[in-house]
Amino acid sequence: MIPYSIGRRELLPLLAAPLLQGREHRAQIAILGAGTGGCAAALAALRNGMTVVMTEETAWIGGQFTAQMVSAFDEHAHIETHGCTRAYRQFRNAIRDYYRGHYPLTDSARRRVNLNPGSGTVSNFAVEPRAVLAVLEGLLAPFVSGGQLRLLTRHKAVAADTDGERVRSVKVRNPATGNEHVLHADYFLDATELGDLLPLTKTEYVTGFESRAMTGEPSAPTTAQPANEQAITACFAVDYLHGEDHTISKPADYDFWRDYFPRLRPSWPDKLLSWKMSNPQTLQPRDLGFDPTLSQRGPGPLNLWLYRRIAARDNFTGGAYRSDISLINWPQNDYWLGRLIDVSEEEFARSVRGAKQLSLSLLYWMQTAHGWKGLRLREDIAGTEDGLAMYPYIRESRRIRAEFTVLEQHVSAKARGAKTAEVFADSAGTGSYRIDLHPTSGGDNYLDVASLPFQIPLGALIPRRVENLLAAAKNLGVTHITNGCYRLHPVEWNIGESAGALAAHCVRTRQPPRRVRNEKALLADFQALLERQGVALSWPG
């Protein structure tokens, strides 16, 4: 597959590793993908004394937080006190401290314990991608300088060498230069956005929508749909300068998107480029609003300008920001007319182009059809020349055929008819979010149902057959449905952190992951390690 965007060579000056003198690199743990789960996995492995090599296909580490521009965090209501790992909370607070140390905050904003720089309405924490990038760089920098971590950005896994049930090495390539490096490690963690390591290593995996016969899930279809994937989104950021004209050139596909009426099951209420959508929970028509001149939420429909706002200028001293800055990651630029998983390079490229054209068409529509000419595309916020995120926002990945797979009936409030989610004896963390599935390439409208605060079973990180590969992102043992609540920021972080800790523990004890999970004494030792390092295994009460 081709990279989404190479972007400008202006990022990660501290962490970008020099070209290796040879084409071989050895470490105890290799992490493919430096997104949310990958960074968490690296920090966990490093704090446990491991040597690590980590690759990232884009110019920015951070995944959802940065390169995908989903920096208005999707989190549950209790995140400030519980329901995430200690490292995740420290990471969030480090971003707040970064703002206090580097941004011209007002005195009242600076004193706010739970500072939310964007004051976005979707989340208690909305920030600029570059602030997250700076903090992640800072967290990893000492390990880079000390030689414990080798970081290769702009490198993508292209091949793997396997020996029976073990991965021996993985080859990565920089598509811009053609340089290739072969990574050797005791353990390989797949933290790529699409589970790229799984087909390369012949690790068994699932894609798309499982059937009800396969999983017993009440919301599953009668027939499996392996090519049915959730929408992707080419996110971008804008500010609004009243009285100025920042209208972009008319996108090539604008006429198509201006007239496009979604054909989804159940039906969508209007054209995609409109201020109507399907209510995700009821699928009834829902009115939306948009007004970039307003700074506070008022009566009436949801104002999308405030929804994913990442910089509220009222939080900064006068003149620091000419405008609020808002992320555009809305129903109107969800792209479901193409796929990214197990397709040709040509189809991958067409899907990426389609998502970009939809997002640019949405901006042009707001600027021209609705007169908001002052909307300015912020290429500097995205770190790209086209102003769109370096990589699409990925909601769904290949998923390992795991030792244990989380089903809808384990976590759904309705399916369980109970007050608590399934209790997993091999818990490796916690999470909480609704089962939130966006429209799909197969023509399904939203599926959004309540879930219960849940655990992350260790068995979901371990493939059934391959011995030294672990899932460290959205590619764990979940279904198309339960992916909807296991894919969010703090959960993916916990998945990666626990995978990194497990790999380190297995290197140190010389016990394979499957045995650690399945032998009671070994599992107790590992879970005690997780708890000492701030990974809660259950919800309070």
| pLDDT value at residue 462 | 99
Q: Mean pLDDT throughout 514-519?
A: 98
Higher per-residue pLDDT: 493 or 298:
493
> Cα–Cα distance between 472 and 391 in angstroms, integer?
19
Token reading at 101: 């140390």
| pLDDT value at residue 298 | 85
> Cα–Cα distance between 134 and 127 in angstroms, integer?
12
pLDDT tier at 10, thresholds 50, 70, 90: very low
Token reading at 509: 């004890």
| pLDDT value at residue 499 | 99
166 has pLDDT over 50: yes
| pLDDT value at residue 470 | 99
| pLDDT value at residue 8 | 34
| pLDDT value at residue 13 | 38
535 has pLDDT over 50: yes
End-to-end, the C-alpha distance of the chain in Å comes to 46
pLDDT > 90: what percent of the chain?
94
Token reading at 123: 């989340």
Q: List b or e across 372-404, with b for residues whose CB sees 16 or more CB atoms inside 10 angstroms.
A: bbbbbbbeebbbbebbbbbbbbbbbbbbbebbb
Residue ranges of E strands in 394-466: 399-400, 427-431, 435-437, 447-449, 454-457
Q: Which among 539, 409, 537, 534 has a CA at the least distance from the CA of 86?
A: 534
For the beta carbon of residue 22, count every other beta carbon within 10 angstroms. 8
DSSP assignment letter at 458? G
Q: Beginning with the edge strand found earlier in the chain, give each strand of the sheet holding 309-311 in spatial order.
A: 309-311, 325-328, 236-240, 375-377
| pLDDT value at residue 366 | 98
Q: Mean pLDDT throughout 406-435?
A: 97
541 has pLDDT over 90: no
> Cα–Cα distance between 333 and 338 in angstroms, integer?
13
> Cα–Cα distance between 335 and 332 in angstroms, integer?
8
Alpha-helical runs (H) found in 112-196: 129-145
List, for residues 91-141, the tens digit of each pLDDT value: 999 999 999 999 999 999 999 999 999 999 999 999 999 999 999 999 999
Q: Mean pLDDT throughout 79-85?
A: 96
5 has pLDDT over 70: no
> Cα–Cα distance between 269 and 264 in angstroms, integer?
10
C-alpha torsion sign, points 312, 318, 321, 322: positive
Q: Mean pLDDT throughout 59-69?
A: 98
Token reading at 139: 């967290």
DSSP assignment letter at 64? G
Residue ranges of E strands in 345-471: 375-377, 399-400, 427-431, 435-437, 447-449, 454-457, 469-471
Q: Mean pLDDT throughout 331-343?
A: 98
Q: Which among 491, 480, 489, 483 has a CA at the least distance from the CA of 453?
A: 491
438 has pLDDT over 90: yes
| pLDDT value at residue 19 | 35
16 has pLDDT over 90: no
Residue 142, burial from CB neighbour count under 10 angstroms (0-12, 13-18, 19+): exposed
| pLDDT value at residue 297 | 86
| pLDDT value at residue 9 | 36
For the beta carbon of residue 298, count every other beta carbon within 10 angstroms. 9
| pLDDT value at residue 20 | 32
> Cα–Cα distance between 472 and 40 in angstroms, integer?
9
> Cα–Cα distance between 136 and 130 in angstroms, integer?
10
Beta-strand pair 325-328/309-311: antiparallel
| pLDDT value at residue 418 | 85
Q: How many residues does the chain have?
A: 541
CB 236 within 8 A of CB 363: yes
pTM: 0.95
Question: Which residues are 365's β-sheet partners?
Answer: none
C-alpha torsion sign, points 454, 457, 462, 465: negative
Helix (H) or strand (E) holding 366: helix 345-368
Token reading at 45: 């492995």
Helix (H) or strand (E) holding 156: strand 156-163
Token reading at 11: 């990022």
> Cα–Cα distance between 79 and 90 in angstroms, integer?
12
| pLDDT value at residue 83 | 96
Compute and round to an integer the Cα radius of gyration of the chain: 22
| pLDDT value at residue 400 | 98
> Cα–Cα distance between 408 and 435 in angstroms, integer?
9
The domain ranges of the chain are 232-382
